Amino acid sequence: MIAVRHLFASLYVGLLRFIPTEARSFRQILLRLSGVKCSGMIETQGSQFIQCPEMLVIGNGSIISGECLFESRGGIVIGENVLIGPRVIVLTSNHRVGEEQVHEYKSVRIGNSVWIGAGTTIVPGVEIGAGAVIGAGSVVTKNVPAGVRVAGVPAKPIGKGSPQNGLVASGGHTSGGAV
């Protein structure tokens, strides 16, 4: 069974860039066959690279843009109605300093109605609260409370307010603005 999942994961990564975004149902079937746990309908755009797809959970109404990397050995949970911009990297493993080939695994949790801007990197062990907004190009090294906007390297709070304040229409689709 594991070999079959690896085959579908490889097919998902290899073929996805050729399957139009409009073919949502087919894309989601491939995603599920690769081992990703999807609740409800999600939208994937372009191609994504997923390591350990069986450790990735994606909530209903979430949208994942192209060229994202999910290194999910430690587990990644993405809530409902989350918008993930292109080239986002989510990491769950790291090497211990001074020790060869010793890995640490820490899960990443992303709450409901979160916006993650293009080119963001999220490091192992981070939790992002519901309604948070992550500015493009940020490196998230610490937990982000619900409803807080962060940006920078490393990401620091820049304000409060969330997509729930009218910036996200029902179903998780954006109604304007950029992160």
Give me the active site residues, please: 95
> What is the amino acid identity at position 47?
S
Q: Are 86 and 46 in contact (CB under 8 A)?
A: yes
Q: Which two tokens stand for residue 131?
A: 């309604």
Q: Which two tokens stand for residue 111?
A: 């709450």
> What is the amino acid identity at position 151?
A
> What are the residues whose beta carbons fall under 8 Å from the beta carbon of 133, sequence distance 6 or more?
114, 115, 117, 148, 149, 150, 161, 162, 163, 179
Chain centre distance of CA 99: 29
The C-alpha atoms of residue 70 and residue 50 are separated, in whole angstroms, by 5
